[in-house]
């Protein structure tokens, strides 16, 4: 949520930012917010004036009664009653307008960084750099679901019977490989100085609306029937929510945490769930990075965080690239974002395995997270980044490490988490 002061003082900047995100339908919101803000401030001023009059009048009433000027005192008392009625009306209008103002401001997108490329959608995202060769094998690489099934590691038919489309059973060494990547990601981030955490997997609605836009919420979140609880779509949600309403001494910043969680997503409006594959599913597991820092340090942390993900994938010998998200592909709370994509030798193209974002003070404003400084309390910056999201990372390993005999070589760094196993071989029929 943007600072109302910025909209007040530089509404043309806010409008220009909306145009850069190709959301022209939101342009009228800026003028509406300015008008609402002006009216609310007028009401506050009128209310303050009336309260001052009420206090002064109340003081006069006591004096008049002591002087036996009963009629004048009663007249003053009647004025206090009138003032109370006016204040009740003003306070009611102020509350209603404030709620309307907040709802409109929640829809206005965050000011994007000047370095963000301008584009309408993800087709105009910009490649930053490749890490490792985008190689092509001289033998056929099967579809990842077929690789899993040949290795005795995937059962989507049973999952369809128990849970429906978008769910899966991972079995045997494939399940072990899946968990090995998560465990290695945890230890990798701990080695970078991040504190490990396992957060709640359900959060309240006021946390949901604090960490994401309404559009994202409707498309992603599963609501628990009859309760004010939602299943998390990523542990970033509950990790940022951990600090809701808190004032943190700036000496304690930065706070860098890495969190594990299962994740649940409706995937409404996505390109459709795969019948056989694991790329787009309702349930997956994730190791996340979350950082709270001073606003002036946010970009330095942003660059460190996405580079950690690249380093993590390269340590497994996997080829990846970074792709900068253009303005039209940025969620409304984001200042800047990039994706890490893994190479698919089967499709001969890259696919997303993680995303890094700096959100400025947007989440902090929504959730009331501030830092205590010598100059008073100020909103801090929040950032998040995927270390690994499996089974997407599993797909990258299966394809890039697939051998001509149908086996999959386990990346060396994962072998200690697999009991020393080096290769997963096809099951004998």
pLDDT, tens digit (0-9, with 9 covering 90-100), for 86-129: 999 999 999 999 999 999 999 999 999 999 999 999 999 999 99
Is residue 25 domain-shared with residue 75, that is, in the same domain? yes
- 192 neighbors 307 (Cβ within 8 angstroms): no
Tell me which residue range forms the domain holding 194: 122-424
Q: CA-CA distance, 99 to 184, in Å (whole number)?
A: 46
Is residue 28 domain-shared with residue 139, that is, in the same domain? no
Is residue 282 domain-shared with residue 336, that is, in the same domain? yes
CATH number for 230? 3.30.930.10
Per-residue pLDDT reduced to its tens digit, 419-428: 999 999 998 7
Is residue 80 domain-shared with residue 149, that is, in the same domain? no
- 42 neighbors 68 (Cβ within 8 angstroms): no
Which portions of the chain are predicted below pLDDT 50? none
Is residue 96 domain-shared with residue 150, that is, in the same domain? no
The alpha carbon dihedral of 284, 285, 286, 292 has a sign of positive
Domain-terminating residue out of 105, 134, 153 = 105
Q: CA-CA distance, 280 to 284, in Å (whole number)?
A: 9
Is residue 272 domain-shared with residue 151, that is, in the same domain? yes
User: Which pLDDT value is given to residue 273?
Assistant: 57
User: Which pLDDT value is given to residue 315?
Assistant: 98
Q: Which two tokens stand for residue 416?
A: 């200690």
Task: Tally Cβ neighbours within 10 Å of residue 191.
Answer: 8
Is residue 162 domain-shared with residue 43, that is, in the same domain? no
User: Which pLDDT value is given to residue 275?
Assistant: 61
User: Which pLDDT value is given to residue 218?
Assistant: 75
**113 domain residue, yes or no:** no
Q: Which two tokens stand for residue 156?
A: 């989507």
Q: How many domains are there within the chain?
A: 2
pTM value is: 0.89
**116 domain residue, yes or no:** no
Is residue 85 domain-shared with residue 161, that is, in the same domain? no
User: Which pLDDT value is given to residue 299?
Assistant: 97
User: Which pLDDT value is given to residue 271?
Assistant: 52
């Amino acid at each position: 949520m943007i600072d109302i002061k910025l909209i007040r003082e530089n509404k043309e900047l806010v409008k220009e930012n909306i145009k850069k995100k190709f959301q022209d339908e939101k342009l009228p919101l800026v003028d509406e917010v300015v008008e609402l803000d002006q009216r609310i401030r007028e009401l506050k001023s009128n209310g303050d004036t009336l309260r001052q009059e009420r206090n002064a009048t109340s003081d006069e009433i006591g004096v008049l009664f002591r002087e036996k000027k009963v009629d004048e005192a009663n007249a003053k008392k009647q004025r206090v009653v009138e003032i109370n009625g006016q204040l009740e009306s003003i306070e009611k209008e102020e509350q209603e307008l404030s709620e309307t103002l907040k709802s409109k401001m929640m829809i206005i997108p965050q000011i994007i960084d000047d370095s963000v490329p301008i584009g309408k959608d993800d087709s105009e995202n910009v490649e930053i750099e490749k890490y490792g060769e985008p190689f092509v094998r001289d033998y056929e690489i099967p579809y990842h679901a077929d690789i899993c099934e040949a290795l005795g590691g995937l059962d989507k038919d049973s999952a369809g019977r128990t849970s429906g489309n978008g769910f899966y059973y991972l079995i045997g060494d494939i399940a072990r490989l899946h968990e090995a990547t998560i465990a290695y990601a945890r230890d990798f981030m701990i080695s970078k100085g991040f504190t490990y955490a396992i957060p709640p997997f359900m959060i309240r609605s006021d946390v949901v609306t604090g960490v994401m836009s309404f559009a994202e919420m409707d498309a992603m979140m599963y609501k628990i029937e009859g309760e004010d609880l939602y299943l998390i779509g990523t542990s970033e949600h509950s990790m940022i929510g951990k600090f809701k309403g808190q004032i943190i001494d700036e000496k304690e910043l930065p706070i860098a945490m890495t969190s594990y969680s299962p994740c649940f997503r409706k995937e409404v409006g996505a390109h459709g769930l795969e019948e056989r594959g694991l790329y787009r599913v309702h349930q997956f597991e994730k190791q996340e990075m979350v950082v709270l820092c001073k606003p002036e340090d946010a970009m330095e942390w942003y660059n460190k965080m996405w580079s950690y993900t690249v380093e993590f994938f390269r340590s497994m010998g996997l080829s990846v690239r970074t792709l900068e998200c253009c303005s039209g592909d940025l969620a409304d709370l984001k200042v800047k974002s990039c994706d890490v994509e893994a190479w698919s030798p089967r499709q001969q193209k890259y696919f997303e395995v993680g995303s890094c974002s700096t959100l400025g003070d947007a989440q902090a404003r929504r959730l009331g997270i501030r830092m205590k400084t010598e100059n008073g309390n100020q909103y801090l910056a929040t950032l998040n980044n995927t270390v690994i999201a499996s089974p997407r990372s599993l797909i990258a390993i299966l394809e890039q490490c697939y051998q001509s005999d149908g086996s999959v070589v386990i990346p060396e760094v994962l072998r200690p988490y697999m009991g020393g196993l080096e290769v997963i071989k096809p099951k004998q029929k």
